Amino acid sequence: MKQFKILITGISGFVGRNLVNYLAKFPNYKLYGLDIIDQDIDGVEHIYSWSKLNELQEFDVIIHLAGKAHDLKNTSDDKVYFDINYGLTKKIYDWFLDSNCSKFFFMSSVKAVADVVQGETLDEKEKCNPVTAYGKSKLKAEEHILSMNLPLGKSFYIFRPCMIHGPGNKGNLNLLYRFSKSGIPYPLGSFDNKRSFLSVSNLCFIFNEFIINKVDSGIYHLADDDAISTNELIKVISETLNRKARILKLPVNLVTSLAKLGSILHLPLTEERLNKLTENYVVSNLKIKKVLSKTLPVSTREGLVETIKSFSHTKSLN
């Protein structure tokens, strides 16, 4: 059985910890980290600091997860996004090109393509036109990878996931969970939308398949099989909590006005958060499924239920 030494940047983050839990089950994997946080993680041989990058030993696989996440409160300076999302990617990818490592994974985002999906679905053929500094910085990192000559025997994979969820998730899904648990009716029932999600379990499965199989270098969009509306999501959350879903259909104009006011007064419901909850954002996973020639192990609903249950477990531990 072939042995793999895998270096994971941003290993202490949400995706990193879930990926470690998944890959540590395979006896032929030895996991290492590259992070700004110096702490021990079960299943990880050692975690290095970025200042020691040029002193590192050789690895077989690099999974670059480290990055600056999209700040929904818009308090981050644009330069921070480019320093981290582009700067760190350039640094680690250039190191990869000079190393004996054979596979490089870059965790980009569908936001490097578009903040709004114009057609029915977003696929790899879509022309990139990001609006936010987050999306632009991810795209600049992608462009650097694509512009470099790739030595023989090496492969790169640019993963563009949609919204990732799973144990440890702190995004909008957690917000909806807390909202549903409070018993307050969901007020956005008048908005009819469809959006894609990605279970972190499916993401980990895809990483493993790409590590052990020969796959052409390129860009791959990642999403679960089925898109789901926010109203349907509220129902799944309520069912998991053994509660009846309470959904109000307030006038769209009223909700939009309240969101504008929320943006000014920094209230929980802002225009950006409203867009996140009610936009149509369906991501095609046809290319990745064709390459895998396998069914994703977790359905959209199963993944959401798993995440929601992890929220309940976390709350019970606090």
Confidence of residue 205 (pLDDT cuts 50, 70, 90): very high
CATH code of domain 166-197+224-318: 3.90.25.10
| Both tokens assigned to 23 | 């890959």
Q: What is the pTM of this model?
A: 0.92
Could you read off the pLDDT of 124-150 as tens digits, one per residue? 999 999 999 999 999 999 999 999 999
Q: Sign of torsion, CA 135 74 51 164?
A: negative
The stretch 261-266 carries a mean pLDDT of 93
Residue boundaries of the structural domains of the chain = 166-197+224-318
Could you read off the pLDDT of 169-195 as tens digits, one per residue? 877 788 889 889 999 999 999 998 999
| Both tokens assigned to 105 | 């994974």
Q: Sign of torsion, CA 112 115 120 126?
A: negative
* Separation of alpha carbons 295 and 302, rounded Å: 14
Write the burial class of residue 180 (CB in 10 Å: 0-12 exposed, 13-18 middle, 19+ buried): buried
Mean pLDDT of the chain, nearest integer: 92
| Both tokens assigned to 66 | 């480290």
Could you read off the pLDDT of 208-238 as tens digits, one per residue? 999 999 999 999 999 999 999 999 999 999 9
Confidence of residue 108 (pLDDT cuts 50, 70, 90): very high
* Separation of alpha carbons 36 and 94, rounded Å: 19
Write the burial class of residue 250 (CB in 10 Å: 0-12 exposed, 13-18 middle, 19+ buried): middle
The stretch 299-303 carries a mean pLDDT of 97
